[in-house]
């Protein structure tokens, strides 16, 4: 039976023993159906349903939505305000795991791992012409220098890369050796472009046919942020033509890509199914930070509030 002195939290995925152990004595978990959300004040969500005015109206007792992660694309913030619902996210939760995944994609695609693995599987030796990128001395352009972008910057510098960044919120970088540049300069100079920006109207299809045309021939593009940042038909055309040498994508539009999509199965593209934060430790942080935020809001304490 739930205790009367602790809040009830709805979890939009199946509850596991580790979840129960974490909240023991501080909250009671229910989930993951809508029926169990009725009358509950807080919902801890992964990505799940689209939260709009109609959905908020179905749950008038709801006071808090706490995201397991950074993005809240599926939550209508105006509708949340109108319903009196506080929306929280966990900006620190996926930082380490997502930065590591970015580096994995960066290394794998610039070293042509899919193609070289296919060579071995076919009983072939090394190609006669070496085309992979040596990262030492190459320029990495980071679109966004927040928590994840900053960690990628430091890791890339350890490989000998020159790092430039574009971030409209920054006039200078706190990371030694990282220069803040315009987006145009970043696109013109980077050997590898890595996206770490939110999905908002201003960033939709930030990488499109026009911006790709300004990039170096042979550029590599990495996206562990949000799928809508890239115009995928434009990316595919640039890959076919050879202007883009390769792409590493953890996010796509839509997600997942349908079977047979032309980006899938290419030897110059690696697509992973939005799993950059999916280390065991990362998943626990996502859950724990979201729960902590929900409990804090219900108790009137400070939390990572979006609105």
Measured distance CA(190)–CA(148) in Å, rounded:
18
Same domain as 138, residue 263: yes
Same domain as 249, residue 170: yes
User: Whole-number mean pLDDT of the chain?
Assistant: 95
Same domain as 132, residue 64: no
Q: Look at residue 2 and tell me if it is in a domain.
A: no
Instruction: Give the global pTM.
Output: 0.89
Same domain as 208, residue 149: yes
Q: Which of 81, 241, 255, 301 is catalytic?
A: 255
Q: Which of 274, 283, 284, 288 is catalytic?
A: 274
Question: Quick check: is 3 catalytic?
Answer: no
Check residue 70 and give its pLDDT. Answer: 86
Q: What is the pLDDT of residues 120-140, one digit of tens each?
A: 999 999 888 999 999 999 999
CA proximity to 40, closest of 307, 239, 305, 298: 298
Q: Are 228 and 253 contacting, i.e. CB atoms less than 8 angstroms apart?
A: yes
Question: Quick check: is 185 catalytic?
Answer: no
* Chain centre distance of CA 118: 28
Q: Are 209 and 231 contacting, i.e. CB atoms less than 8 angstroms apart?
A: yes
Same domain as 248, residue 136: yes
Check residue 4 and give its pLDDT. Answer: 62
CA proximity to 77, closest of 40, 57, 51: 51
Check residue 303 and give its pLDDT. Answer: 92
Q: Which of 191, 226, 285, 289 is catalytic?
A: 226
pLDDT tens digit at each of 307 positions of the chain:
444 679 999 999 899 999 999 999 999 999 889 999 999 999 999 877 899 999 999 999 999 999 998 888 889 999 999 999 999 999 889 999 999 999 999 999 999 999 999 999 999 998 889 999 999 999 999 999 999 999 999 999 999 999 999 999 999 999 999 999 999 999 999 999 999 999 999 999 999 999 999 999 999 999 999 999 999 999 999 999 999 999 999 999 999 999 999 999 999 999 999 999 989 999 999 999 999 999 999 999 999 999 8
Same domain as 130, residue 50: no
Q: Look at residue 304 and tell me if it is in a domain.
A: no
Same domain as 124, residue 75: no
Question: Quick check: is 54 catalytic?
Answer: no
Same domain as 203, residue 73: no
Q: Look at residue 63 and tell me if it is in a domain.
A: yes
- What's the total number of domains in the chain? 2
Q: Look at residue 111 and tell me if it is in a domain.
A: yes
CATH code of 71's domain: 3.40.50.720
Write out the E strands in the chain.
8-11, 28-31, 42-45, 64-67, 86-88, 139-143, 162-166, 179-180, 192-195, 219-223, 244-249, 269-271
Q: Look at residue 1 and tell me if it is in a domain.
A: no
Domain span at 119 = 95-271
Strands 244-249 and 219-223: parallel
CB neighbours (10 Å) of residue 1? 4
Write out the E strands in 21-127.
28-31, 42-45, 64-67, 86-88
């Amino acid at each position: 039976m739930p205790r009367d002195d602790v809040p009830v939290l709805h979890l939009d995925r199946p509850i596991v023993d580790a979840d129960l152990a974490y909240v023991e004595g501080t909250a009671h978990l229910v989930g993951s159906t809508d029926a169990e959300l009725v009358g509950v004040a807080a919902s801890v969500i992964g990505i799940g349903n689209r939260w709009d005015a109609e959905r908020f109206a179905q749950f008038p007792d709801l006071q808090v939505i706490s995201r397991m992660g950074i993005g809240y694309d599926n939550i209508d913030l105006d509708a949340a305000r109108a319903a009196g619902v506080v929306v929280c996210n966990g900006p620190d939760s996926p930082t380490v795991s997502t930065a590591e995944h970015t580096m994995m994609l960066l290394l794998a695609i610039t070293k042509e791992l899919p193609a070289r693995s296919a060579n071995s599987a076919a009983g072939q030796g090394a190609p006669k012409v070496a085309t992979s990128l040596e990262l030492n001395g190459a320029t990495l352009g980071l679109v966004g220098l927040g928590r994840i972008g900053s960690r990628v910057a430091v890791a890339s510098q350890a490989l000998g890369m020159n790092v430039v960044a574009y971030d409209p919120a920054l006039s200078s970088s706190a990371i030694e050796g990282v220069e803040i540049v315009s987006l145009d300069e970043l696109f013109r100079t980077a050997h590898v472009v890595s996206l770490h920006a939110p999905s908002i109207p201003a960033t939709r299809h930030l990488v499109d046919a026009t911006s790709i045309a300004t990039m170096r021939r042979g550029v590599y593009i990495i996206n562990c942020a949000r799928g809508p940042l890239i115009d995928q038909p434009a990316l595919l055309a640039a890959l076919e033509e050879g202007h883009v040498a390769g792409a590493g994508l953890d996010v796509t539009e839509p997600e997942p890509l349908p079977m047979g999509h032309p980006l899938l199965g290419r030897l110059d593209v690696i697509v992973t199914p939005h799993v950059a934060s999916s280390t065991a430790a990362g998943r626990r942080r996502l859950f724990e930070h979201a729960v902590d935020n929900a409990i804090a809001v219900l108790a009137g304490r400070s939390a990572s509030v979006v609105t």
